[in-house]
């Protein structure tokens, strides 16, 4: 099996069909034209079959937990990707409706149906449906991790330390980028009747019936060009101080690439190679790789192998037991979900973090940890705390609804962590206090900054 093929899996036992009008690439997760193994695999299939290539992207206005903030960022990326794909003589069909139904209809006229790989439950179910409905070979190409999830591990891993070596052992094998395939048959005669134009993203969004209560943000513009510019600036200017600067909530020496990774607008392999090639110190590079490879792909492992990844029943047994044992401990102050959402708690640090999330769609990792841990004390039960943290995370953060969202909200409640000395409310789950934040950072400076947003 070649490197390229280790990312590719057949989803059904059929062969390419001679009757198809095109090879279909149903783009879902890898929403980019650059360094996209699914796109290049589909292009190679098109040449093998002697057909043009059609890329399908379906905007689902009812997508779980998505709002105008997420749609705007995603569609800025899709508008750019569409143009880049079309320049190669590929048909880019942008549609509106139910993704699996439209993909099934398009697959009926295809010689081969290719898709990429997202890990959430509904994305896996959509792929299963494609495999069943396609009258031809259906394939999946896994291009949004460095090491494919099953190649990294065949089981649910309990911590970063249990998967780190496994990932590093296979990184060289997988940290390669696909060659760009020249299409031999340009997509000239394919039917565009149902396709949507996207010349103006704001107008496109306005016409959609979506949740507009959370609006777009100025600080993040979607698309591969922006992702590459951020990567370059980070690798040139900031990576060198990542080791020390990463945890600093004020100076924030971080890449801000998580929204781009979430929407597949940049490949993690592209990032990995740029980091490795940069002139930064070895410790800084290793620190970054530990987040972008180990932590991120541990999160993918968590979602892939834990069917309860988005509920308290997916937490480790020891954590559920200890939280349950402390469920009736008195909470110093309890707030409703709405009070929390609108920064009306008794803690100015917490309120500032929530304000930053609401207004910018981003929050620094250390503040996410503090923010989430405090929710455990602000609610009456661990279950309510879990649901509140996950809902706010996914509503406001541009990188929400990601494998990282589920693994990290889980981390607040013990996932990928160990037991700590027992204390009120948290039991043996790690706690964080305002005092800790104050000792380590200029948190008052942070509050001032956030309140001025």
Which positions touch ligand FAD (CB under 6 A)?
246, 254-258, 261-262, 291-292, 295-296, 299, 365, 368-369, 372, 393, 397, 399-400, 402, 404-405, 408-409, 411-412
In whole angstroms, how close is the CB of 296 to ligand FAD at the nearest point? 4
Separation between Cα atoms, residue 355 and residue 451, nearest integer Å: 8
Cβ-based nearer residue to ligand FAD, 109 or 408: 408
When the beta carbons of 104 and 261 are compared against ligand FAD, the nearer one is 261
Q: Which is nearer to ligand FAD, 110 or 145 (CB)?
A: 145
- Which residue number, 17 or 253, has a Cβ lying nearer to ligand FAD? 253
Name which of 44 and 412 has its Cβ closer to ligand FAD.
412
| Closest approach of ligand FAD to the CB of residue 135, in Å | 37
Q: How many CB atoms lie within 10 A of CB 7?
A: 22
How many angstroms separate the CA atoms of 348 and 436, rounded? 14
Nearer to ligand FAD (CB atom), residue 46 or residue 354: 354
Shortest separation between residue 349's beta carbon and ligand FAD, angstroms = 15
CB of 347 to ligand FAD, least distance (A): 16
The least CB distance from residue 10 to ligand FAD, in Å, is 29
The tokens for 165 are 């070596």
HSE-CB of 301 using CA atoms within 13 angstroms? 26
Least CB distance from residue 325 to ligand FAD, whole Å? 23
Minimum distance between the CB of residue 262 and ligand FAD, rounded to whole angstroms? 6
Q: Are strands 137-141 and 110-116 parallel, antiparallel or unpaired?
A: parallel
Q: What is the 3-state secondary structure (H, E, C) of the chain?
A: CCHHHHCEEECCCCCCCCCCCEEEEECCCCCCCCCCHHHHHHHHHHHHHCCCEEEEEEECCCCCCCEHHHHHHHHHHHHHHHHHHHCCCCEEEEEECCHHHHHHHHHCCEEEEEEECCCCHHHHHHHHHHHHHCCCEEEEECCCCCCCHHHHCCCCCCCHHHHHHHHHHHHHHHCCCCCCCCCCCCCCCCCCCCCCCCCCHHHHHHCCCCECCCCCCCCCCCCHHHHHHHHHHHHHHHHHHHHHHCCCCCCCCCCCCHHHHHCCCCCHHHHHHHHHHCCCCHHHHHHHHHHHHHHHHHHHHHHHHCCCCCCHHHCCHHHHHHHHHCCCCCCCCCCCHHHHHCCCCCCHHHHHHHHHHHHHCCCCHHHHHHHHHHHHHHCCCHHHHHHHHHHHHHHHCCCCCCHHHHHHHHHHCCCCCCCCCCECCCECCCCCCHHHHHHHCCHHHHHHHHHCC
Closer CB to ligand FAD, 159 or 203, in the complex:
159
Burial class of residue 311, CB neighbours in 10 A (0-12, 13-18, 19+) = middle
Cβ of residue 329: shortest distance to ligand FAD, in angstroms?
22
Q: Which is nearer to ligand FAD, 85 or 227 (CB)?
A: 227
Would you say 417 and 159 are in contact if contact means Cβ atoms under 8 Å apart?
yes
In whole angstroms, the minimum distance from the beta carbon of 437 to ligand FAD comes to 14
Per-residue burial over 408-430, b = 16 or more CB atoms within 10 Å of its CB, e = otherwise: bbbbbbbbbbeeeeeeebbbbbb
Least separation in angstroms between CB 253 and ligand FAD = 8
**Least distance from C-beta 101 to ligand FAD, angstroms?**
28
Nearer to ligand FAD, 137 or 163 (CB): 163
Q: Which is nearer to ligand FAD, 347 or 399 (CB)?
A: 399
Nearest distance from residue 92's CB to ligand FAD, in Å? 27
Considering beta carbons, is residue 106 or 310 the nearer one to ligand FAD? 310
Nearer of residues 75 and 303 to ligand FAD, judged by Cβ: 303
């Amino acid at each position: 099996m070649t490197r390229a093929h280790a990312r590719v899996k057949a989803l059904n036992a059929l062969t390419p069909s001679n009757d198809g009008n095109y090879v279909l690439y149903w783009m879902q997760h890898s929403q980019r034209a650059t360094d996209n193994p699914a796109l290049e695999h589909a292009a190679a299939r098109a040449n093998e079959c002697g057909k043009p290539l059609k890329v399908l992207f379906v905007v689902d206005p009812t997508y779980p937990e998505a709002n105008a903030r997420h749609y705007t960022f995603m569609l800025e990326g899709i508008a750019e990707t569409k143009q880049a794909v079309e320049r190669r003589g590929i048909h880019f069909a942008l549609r509106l409706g139910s993704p699996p139904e439209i993909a099934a209809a398009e697959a009926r006229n295809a010689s081969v149906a290719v898709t990429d790989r997202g890990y959430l439950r509904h994305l896996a179910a959509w792929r299963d449906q494609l495999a069943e409905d396609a009258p031809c070979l259906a394939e999946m190409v896994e291009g949004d991790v460095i090491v494919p999830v099953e190649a990294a591990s065949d089981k649910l891993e309990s911590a970063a330390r249990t998967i780190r070596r496994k990932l590093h052992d296979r990184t060289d094998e997988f940290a390669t980028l696909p060659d760009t395939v020249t299409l031999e048959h340009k997509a000239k005669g394919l039917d565009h009747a149902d396709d949507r134009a996207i010349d103006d993203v704001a107008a496109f969004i306005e016409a959609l019936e979506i949740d507009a209560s959370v609006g777009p943000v100025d600080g993040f513009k979607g698309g591969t060009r922006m992702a590459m510019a951020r990567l370059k600036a980070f690798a040139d200017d900031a990576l060198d101080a990542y080791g020390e600067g990463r945890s600093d909530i004020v100076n924030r020496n971080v890449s801000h690439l998580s929204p781009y990774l979430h929407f597949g607008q940049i490949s993690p392999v592209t990032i990995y190679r740029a980091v490795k090639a940069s002139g930064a110190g070895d410790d800084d590079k290793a620190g970054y790789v530990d987040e972008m490879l180990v932590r991120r792909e541990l999160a993918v492992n968590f979602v892939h192998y834990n069917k309860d990844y988005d509920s308290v029943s997916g937490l480790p047994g020891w954590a559920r037991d200890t939280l349950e044992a402390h469920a009736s401990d008195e909470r110093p102050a309890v707030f409703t979900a709405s009070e929390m959402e609108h920064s009306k708690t008794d803690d100015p640090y917490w309120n500032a973090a929530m304000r930053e999330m609401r207004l910018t769609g981003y929050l620094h990792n250390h503040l996410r940890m503090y923010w989430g841990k405090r929710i455990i004390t602000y609610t009456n039960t661990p279950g309510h705390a879990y649901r509140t943290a996950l809902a706010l995370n996914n509503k406001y953060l541009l990188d929400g609804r990601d494998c990282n969202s589920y693994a990290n909200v889980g981390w607040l409640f013990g996932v990928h962590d160990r037991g700590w000395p027992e204390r009120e409310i948290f039991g043996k789950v790690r706690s964080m206090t305002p005092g800790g934040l104050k000792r380590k950072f200029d948190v008052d400076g942070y509050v001032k900054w956030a309140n001025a947003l």
